[in-house]
Amino acid sequence: MLTSGRGSNLRALFDSEADGRLEGTIAAVISNRAAIPALDIAATHGVPGFVVPHEAYADRDAFDAALGAAIDATEPDLVVLAGFMRVLGPELVGRYAGRMLNIHPSLLPAYPGLHTHRRALADGVRIHGCTVHFVTAALDHGPIVTQGAVPVRDGDDEASLAARVLAVEHRLLPAAVGWHCEGRLTVADGRVRVAGAIAPADAALIAPPLSPERLSSS
């Protein structure tokens, strides 16, 4: 797992592993920053944490080489990015093609990059959410494994919207990682198939909700 800070998605993964919902184990946590909560969470679970400080390297290639070596040393079946605040170069991404997932706090392809909640609020969107996708060399881009949507409420600010999305992130990421561990994910023509997934119910998230009369007349 690669992360740069708080580590709440890491905690969600540990929780799902502890509950027996994850057919896999977290081998290591790697960060570009020292002294972050995510490394404490790893230590609490007896999982090694490694720091590859980006500022110690002359350029991105040198950082990527060091980061790649740190990842390779753990011999992971899957690399998971959650809040890892460095862009990875094409060589490293290519080496882990199909074995690297990222969670992003928007309904991609809307709002790649930073400040997704602020931008969604500024645009007045009614529905926002999060995405787990395979990583490609393009920022916040790649075949989409799963997405979760939440309504944007009238009184929302950045913090309240972020919290609502984060709660969904904590459900989506363990699910996506679990599917990978179970060998259920395949990618064809840029689309991900989840073997055995139940087809989406014929239900819609409508925000703001329609009044009962409107629902019944449809």
Closest separation between CB of residue 61 and ligand GRF, Å?
A: 23
167 Cβ contact partners less than 8 Å away, ≥ 6 residues apart: none
CB closer to ligand GRF out of 53 and 209 = 53
Q: Which of 42, 67, 80, 82 binds ligand GRF (CB under 6 A)?
A: 82
Q: What is the token pair recorded at 27?
A: 């081998």
Q: Which of 136, 169, 172, 180 binds ligand GRF (CB under 6 A)?
A: 169
104 counts as catalytic: yes
According to DSSP, the β-strands at 191-194 and 185-188 are antiparallel
d(CA 216, CA 218): 6
**Total site size for ligand GRF, rule CB under 6 A:** 14
* Catalytic residue from among 45, 54, 104, 115: 104
CB closer to ligand GRF out of 149 and 166 = 166
83 binds ligand GRF (CB under 6 A): yes
Tell me, residue by residue from 106 to 145, as one string, x for binding to ligand GRF by CB under 6 A and - for no binding: ------------------------x---------------
CB closer to ligand GRF out of 64 and 140 = 140
In angstroms, how far is CA 153 from the centroid of its own chain? 23
Closest separation between CB of residue 23 and ligand GRF, Å?
A: 21
CB closer to ligand GRF out of 71 and 161 = 161
**What's the first-to-final CA gap in the chain, in angstroms?**
46
Q: Which of 1, 2, 3, 32 binds ligand GRF (CB under 6 A)?
A: 3
- Just list the catalytic residues: 104
